[in-house]
Amino acid sequence: MIVKQYGLVYKRIQEEDIELVRYWRNRPFIRNTMQFQEYITEEMQKEWFKKINNKYNYYFLIEHESKKIGLINCKDTNTERVAEGGIFIWDKAYWQTPIPALASLTMLEAIFEEFKSGDTSVITVLKDNPAALKFNQHIGYTIYYEDEKVYKLKLTLKDYFAKTYKLKKAAALLVGKEKSRIEIIAEPSDLLDDKINAYLLSKKS
Amino acid sequence: MDIQEFIQRLENEFEDLPKGTLKPDTNYRDIPNWSSMHALIIIAFADAQFNVELTASDLRNANTIQDLYDVIKSKMQS
């Protein structure tokens, strides 16, 4: 599956991508922002891929001008209308640019507006990462749980529409109307949720 | 609109930013907990408040609040 919007391309990860992801996921500047902070071995990564290569988990490489710059995901979609999101950008040159924000907006638009496959998105943010907390609050996420280490936040459909309206308009101004349209390229398959398969079939007819 | 009024309006956009945080010479990327989302908020702010379309290169070339003010003002006049 390939998704395109705002000049970025998202390609669902394949087995041949997992070593690249593992390399960056193990870098301390990424690992330290994650809940799971142990070093990930090649074997662990292979096991992980077996667990996530199904219709309930969607991990995409983020590409800008054919350069792979990070990973974005929507996982555990088997929970009733709720899915967990996550993103990391390993290319530091992009951290201060609007690109991480654009990637998050695209993933949410695909789930909430295109596939209509969920009503709530949840995320986990480490308490020592206030920039990530603020980033997500700007999209409309609100804290529903916290312990000494993490915040858990959720985004409802209502808050998503209320908070992202202006951001999406700004994104369109930034990249131009043509590039702001979401494009989804995929064939129906067993690796896709029923809602997504139905969406793809409806686009064909 | 002078720079002080511009700053007041911009601080309102950043919700929990304490009033008086921003100065004309503040590098806007040094705003506490700055993230890529703030860039979109600034673009939305310029569009909604001044009917000005900021480009990616406008943002790249602007470092301070004064720079942002200047580019928005010049686009309002053009």
Taking only the tens place, the pLDDT of each residue in A18-67 is 999 999 999 999 999 999 999 999 999 999 999 999 999 999 999 999 99
What distance in Å separates the CA atoms of residue A130 and residue A126, rounded to the nearest whole number? 8
Residue-level pLDDT at B60:
86
In chain A, how many domains are there?
Answer: 1
Mutate to test the interface with B, among A91, A134, A142 (most CBs of B within 10 A): A134
Chain A CB contacts of B53 under 8 Å are: 173
Of B29, B32, B54, the CB nearest to A96: B29
Of B35, B37, B43, the CB nearest to A174: B43
User: Range with the lowest mean pLDDT among A7-21, A87-101, A137-151?
Assistant: A87-101
Pairwise CB contact (< 8 Å): B33 & A131: yes
Does the pTM exceed 0.90? yes
Q: Which residues of A touch B (CB under 8 A)?
A: 94-102, 130-135, 138-139, 166-167, 169-171, 173-175
Are A1 and A193 a contacting pair, CB within 8 Å? no
B56 in reach of chain A (CB within 8 A): yes
User: Range with the lowest mean pLDDT among A63-72, A75-84, A104-113, B20-29?
Assistant: A75-84
Residue-level pLDDT at B15:
75
Pairwise CB contact (< 8 Å): B40 & A95: no
Range(s) of the domain holding residue A47: 2-204
CATH number for A34: 3.40.630.30
Residue B45 pLDDT level (bands cut at 50, 70, 90): very high
- CA neighbours within 13 Å on the CB side: how many for A111? 29
Tokens of A156: 């409802």
State the smallest CA–CA distance between residue B74 and chain A in angstroms: 18
Q: Which of A76, A103, A151, A139 is nearest to A5 (CA)?
A: A103
Whether residue B34 has pLDDT greater than 90: no
Residues 6 or more apart whose Cβ sits within 8 Å of residue B77: none
What distance in Å separates the CA atoms of residue B18 and residue A32, rounded to the nearest whole number? 29
Tokens of A68: 């792979």
Whether residue B16 has pLDDT greater than 80: no
Whether residue B14 has pLDDT greater than 90: no
Pairwise CB contact (< 8 Å): B37 & A101: yes
Sign of CA dihedral A79, A81, A84, A90: positive
Chain A CB contacts of B41 under 8 Å are: 138, 166-167, 170
State the smallest CA–CA distance between residue A205 and chain B in angstroms: 36
For chain A, give the percent of residues with pLDDT over 90. 88
